[in-house]
Structure 1
């Protein structure tokens, strides 16, 4: 199981290709990461399911490419 306590505010979130897709605002419940409005090209909050996380180090790394992420957010 993923240790979600490693996810901190303002951590960068990268898709599976290494592209930065935003920054963590906070965890929304136990199943979503809320991204900051300021890191979004449209100025809106977006949510990423924790099920999409591949691993967490100093950043959050997803197992999906940005094209899948943006169509699902």
Structure 2
């Protein structure tokens, strides 16, 4: 299990493939809260998305690396009401 106390605001969240997914705004419960600026487009734009802590592979110096590639990880993002962003 990853030590979540190492995760800090403004760290980059990247997929296993090194692709940028978002920027840490904080941790809420069992999820990383991403900043609004990384919220996507359309109906997903302008509000926070969340990544389950279970996807974290490791915490590096300035980044949180996930165990899934970016294209898969974004399908697992949740919105504030805990719904997945992709249907």
What SS class does the counterpart of residue 54 from structure 2 fall into? helix
Deviations 1:29-60 (A, max 9, x none): 1x110000012233321111111000001210
Which residue of the partner structure matches residue 9 of structure 1?
9
Which residue of the partner structure matches residue 36 of structure 1?
35
Cα distance, 1:4 vs. partner?
0.5
Q: Larger C-alpha radius of gyration, 1 or 2?
A: 2
Higher helix share: 2
TM-score (norm 1): 0.89
Which residue of the partner structure matches residue 82 of structure 2?
none
Which residue of the partner structure matches residue 25 of structure 1?
25
Which residue of the partner structure matches residue 69 of structure 1?
73
CA RMSD across the alignment: 1.1
